[in-house]
Amino acid sequence: MGRLKRSCALFLSLTLTAGNVSYAAEESVIWQGGEAVEEVQGVKELAASDITLLEEMLPVRKDFSRSEERMMENVIAEAADDAALAAEQLNEITDEKVYDAALHEVLDKYYEENLEGQIEQFAEATDERAQETLKEYEEAKEERDNRANLDYETGEVLVTFDSSVTDEEIGAMANRIGVYYEILSDFTIDETLPEEKLKRLKESEGQEFPKIVSIHLGLDKSVGRAEEILQELSSVEDTSKNYTDIEPDSLASVLGVNDTHVGEQKYLEQINLPAAWEAWNEAGQEAYEFKETWVAVIDTGMDISHVDLKNVYLPDRSVVITGGKVDENNCVVTGSQIVPMNVSNCYVRNAYADYHGTHVAGIIAAEARNNKGVVGIASICEKEVDAMYGNCKIMGINAAYRTWSEKDKRYTCMFNYADVITAIYYATNNGADVINMSLGDQNNSPCYQKAIDYAHANNVVVCASAGNGDYKRDAKGDYIKDANGNYIIDATTLNVTNYPAACNHVISVANVDSSNQRGELSIYNKFVDIAAPGTDIYNCVLNGDYYKHSGTSMAAPVVSAAAAILCSMYPETTPDEIEEILTKTATDLGTPGKDIYTGSGLLNVGLAVQTLKTRRLSKTYPQKAAVKCVDYQAAKLGWDAVPWAERYVIFRSTSANGEYTKIKSIHALDWYTYTSSFGRYRFTDKGLATGTTYYYKIRAVCAYQSGFSHSQYCPVISIKCTLNAPTGLTLTPTTGKMKVSWAKVNGAEGYQIWRADTKTGTYKRIHTLTSGATVSYDDTTVKAGKTYYYKVRAYRKPNGTAVFSEYSGIVGKKAK
């Protein structure tokens, strides 16, 4: 009833004015008993009118002549260097459509690159015609910037079109309003379903359903503005924001895991891990040919019997290091003893923080989908994909020793420089991709830097905790409390420099709490690179248990796990690029830009994964693209996978250099059994015109933030659909004639029969059949005793001109 009631209002009159353009749409409806029973003018005409309206309102580059294009190009080219001069050139344009299109091109560039200075200069110099558009761009930007406080996606609107509107008409309207669109309501029935399911679905096949479309907006439109435009279109039933306040059942369901305590791991959502896992798992088969990453955890060891760790540590690489000594410069003078890790020595016993390494290892790679405990950040792979237990393994290195602390009056875990330095070299030489060191103090060692330089030179990412401050103590070493019974922070322990976090080629990680506030004891200094959740982090501890612990020690492995995910995707990615991506994609906290408290901001591992995919995708394209004719109206395309692509989009044109139209989007998971002859991915394009040459190009796609990023296009491939050559040619001689027979060719409208006296001689057409259903011909002009050779070809006349198949094979036989 929604659209019909609206149509009744349209019967009176509807006028939409945009600039100097006015539009009126009318529709007559016959009402009976309160219901509409007949539409005199259908939505088909209204859709066409809507398209015309939008073409007037929202012109695009293809609407203009070459001279108009040049006018726009001059403004756009000038905008790159001088915003004020570009505005002056724009003001000289008198044609309103050209003016509006050029204005949008310039503003798109400025807002896409966030060039605030140029925007201000440009706005000041443009005439009054630009003011409304400038306001719309600014409103759209304010909406995007406020995304965190909104309950809907910015830059996207959901639209319901009437069922009679064609996909082409939807595309014509959506491409004017936004930058791209997706038809969400796909009613294609899977014909391979079991018979009872297929029958049930077929019962609704004749019904008409509205078409739901997601339109992704450009930088010039807020969601509200887009809805205003769409709601005035007669072919649109309704519009809606893409609300995001639908709560998932649980974090476990978001990640697709069954681990019983994952609900306690709130920090996984804080770092946008679901988006990272989705981006990892949305890729095609190539994604599962990943590199298994090894993270060396130089710590107090780990409980290798823990149910969440026993399958993810490396038994042949995990070791215990003890006994090293250093000189006055903290450089190794006596070699450390390295022994294999086993159940009895895998972690320091009976000391404060003996759980420490177990907790750190669990944060990184606790086994996922084992119906127990928690999940590690880097434990993405499903078991059915990876026969083992994930794409990340832990190289446990117990480099700690147990010692008495007179200050704390208890046994505690400590490290010496010799053992830590030895551990760095050991981890590097034994294949670690990432090293995590949740340890440190204010004493520096030149040998620290040399060991880290060695790891960096061998493409190892090194992460370390920035360090934790302390509370005030009295002369006896006991903590002091204030009047409310709270411990008092010793400020002198916070603004200090800790090593190895402050060493070059180390990602120094600060701690934030669940509200993204700096952990109260998180050390700050100019060396802090990034922040990660480190307060009340729930994960593995000794004896198969789980507990919450806090500190930069917990924040560092969060970043190490993120680095491991990136390493697993593209092994050639350097430590410097990984650090640059992690810091560049971090969510800024506090002071704009990098600061001494949280570095570049909060880790956003989802955006980091998307960014790495985007960078790699932009440098490649689908390989070995090929196309072959299936029959007179269909062509099959094939191509090889692009690593980590999520979708492939196919474009088609009837001219090599003409306008290409998107015809199909294929999910990367929909791959075929690989054959070297014709690609891992395939698509059959049907309903083509016989004899017409079609040109195709394909590019790979992956999600990036609220939109998509693309690879380059593959080289253009082309095909002309023709009839298949006749097969099964047989000759049957009888007295005075030769019967020529062949198999029917699909799509044929007739056949030509050709004959020669010798197999390699000159063939002459002896007859043309004008029916594709007739598949034989009696040649009555033969002479007894003479051998004749025949071949046949099919034809079809799509536009009145015959298009021929290849000839059949040649067959010869003696006449009777």
> How confident is the model over 755-808, as pLDDT tens digits?
999 999 999 999 999 999 999 999 999 999 999 999 999 999 988 889 999 999
Average pLDDT, stretch 358-387? 82
Q: Report the number of distinct structural domains present in the chain.
A: 4
Same-domain pairing of 592 and 650: no
Q: Is residue 374 part of a domain?
A: yes
What pLDDT was estimated at residue 250?
66
What pLDDT was estimated at residue 591?
80
Q: What is the mean pLDDT of the chain?
A: 85
Q: What is the CATH number of the domain that holds 667?
A: 2.60.40.10
Same-domain pairing of 75 and 126: yes
Same-domain pairing of 683 and 758: no
* CA distances for 321 relative to 298, 324, 359, 748, angstroms: 10, 8, 19, 79
Q: How confident is the model at residue 248 (pLDDT cuts 50, 70, 90)?
A: very low
Q: How confident is the model at residue 424 (pLDDT cuts 50, 70, 90)?
A: very high
What pLDDT was estimated at residue 335?
56
- Among residues 598, 615, 632, which one ends one of the domains? 615
Q: Could you give the CA distance from residue 259 to residue 713 in angstroms, rounded to a whole number?
A: 42
Letter string b/e over residues 4-17, b meaning 16 or more CB atoms within 10 A of that residue's CB: eebbeebeeebeee
What pLDDT was estimated at residue 636?
92
What pLDDT was estimated at residue 18?
32
Average pLDDT, stretch 515-539? 95
Q: What is the CATH number of the domain that holds 389?
A: 3.40.50.200
What pLDDT was estimated at residue 240?
87
Indicate whether 425 pLDDT > 60.
yes
Q: Is residue 10 part of a domain?
A: no
The lowest-confidence range among 202-216, 392-406, 610-624, 628-642 is 202-216
Q: Could you give the CA distance from residue 374 to residue 257 in angstroms, rounded to a whole number?
A: 9
Same-domain pairing of 198 and 309: no
Same-domain pairing of 712 and 736: no
Specify burial of residue 483 (Cβ count, 10 A radius: 0-12, 13-18, 19+).
Answer: exposed
- Both tokens of 25, joined, read 């749409």
What pLDDT was estimated at residue 308?
95
Task: Give the model confidence (pLDDT) of 580-636 as tens digits.
Answer: 999 999 999 978 889 999 999 999 999 999 999 999 999 999 999 999 988 888 899
Grouping H, G, I as helix, E, B as strand and the rest as coil, residue 13 is coil
Comparison of pLDDT for 812 and 473, the residue scoring more: 812
Q: Could you give the CA distance from residue 139 to residue 155 in angstroms, rounded to a whole number?
A: 12
Same-domain pairing of 554 and 650: no
Comparison of pLDDT for 252 and 350, the residue scoring more: 350
Q: How confident is the model at residue 538 (pLDDT cuts 50, 70, 90)?
A: very high
Q: How confident is the model at residue 60 (pLDDT cuts 50, 70, 90)?
A: low
Comparison of pLDDT for 6 and 253, the residue scoring more: 253
Indicate whether 666 pLDDT > 70.
yes
Comparison of pLDDT for 282 and 701, the residue scoring more: 701
Same-domain pairing of 429 and 512: yes
Residue corresponding to tokens 């250093």: 326
In DSSP terms, which residues pair with 587 in a beta bridge? Answer: 602
- Among residues 219, 243, 267, which one ends one of the domains? 243
In DSSP terms, which residues pair with 752 in a beta bridge? Answer: 768, 793
Question: Degrees (nearest 5) of the Cα angle 362, 363, 369?
Answer: 65
Q: Is residue 28 part of a domain?
A: no
Indicate whether 398 pLDDT > 90.
yes
Same-domain pairing of 699 and 802: no
Closest to 302 in 3D by CA, of 353, 240, 266, 235: 353
Categorise residue 640: left if φ over 0, alpha if ψ from -120 to 50, beta otherwise.
Answer: beta
Residue corresponding to tokens 């905008």: 79
Q: Is residue 702 part of a domain?
A: yes
What pLDDT was estimated at residue 710?
92
Q: Could you give the CA distance from residue 355 to residue 752 in angstroms, rounded to a whole number?
A: 86
Specify burial of residue 162 (Cβ count, 10 A radius: 0-12, 13-18, 19+).
Answer: buried
Q: Is residue 37 part of a domain?
A: no
Which range has highest mean pLDDT (66-70, 113-117, 622-626, 629-633)?
622-626
Same-domain pairing of 709 and 742: no
What pLDDT was estimated at residue 150?
86
Q: How confident is the model at residue 130 (pLDDT cuts 50, 70, 90)?
A: confident
Q: Is residue 551 part of a domain?
A: yes
What pLDDT was estimated at residue 325?
53
What pLDDT was estimated at residue 286?
53
Comparison of pLDDT for 172 and 591, the residue scoring more: 172
Indicate whether 333 pLDDT > 60.
no
Give Cα 142 distance to the centre of its chain. Answer: 25
Indicate whether 27 pLDDT > 50.
no
Indicate whether 456 pLDDT > 90.
yes
What pLDDT was estimated at residue 9?
25
What pLDDT was estimated at residue 531?
96
**What is the span of the domain harbouring residue 209?**
62-243
Same-domain pairing of 422 and 375: yes
What pLDDT was estimated at residue 385?
44
Indicate whether 39 pLDDT > 60.
no
Q: How confident is the model at residue 37 (pLDDT cuts 50, 70, 90)?
A: very low
- How many other C-beta atoms are found inside a 10 Å radius of the C-beta of residue 765? 10
The lowest-confidence range among 53-57, 66-70, 119-123, 188-192 is 188-192
- Both tokens of 495, joined, read 């603004």
What pLDDT was estimated at residue 112?
86
- Among residues 701, 720, 739, which one ends one of the domains? 720
Q: Is residue 249 part of a domain?
A: no
Same-domain pairing of 427 and 546: yes
Same-domain pairing of 387 and 311: yes
* CA distances for 337 relative to 399, 696, 742, angstroms: 10, 63, 83
What pLDDT was estimated at residue 785?
94
Q: How confident is the model at residue 284 (pLDDT cuts 50, 70, 90)?
A: low
Strand 737-741 versus strand 35-39 pairing type: unpaired
Indicate whether 170 pLDDT > 60.
yes
Q: Is residue 704 part of a domain?
A: yes
Grouping H, G, I as helix, E, B as strand and the rest as coil, residue 791 is strand
The sign of the CA dihedral 51, 53, 58, 60 is positive
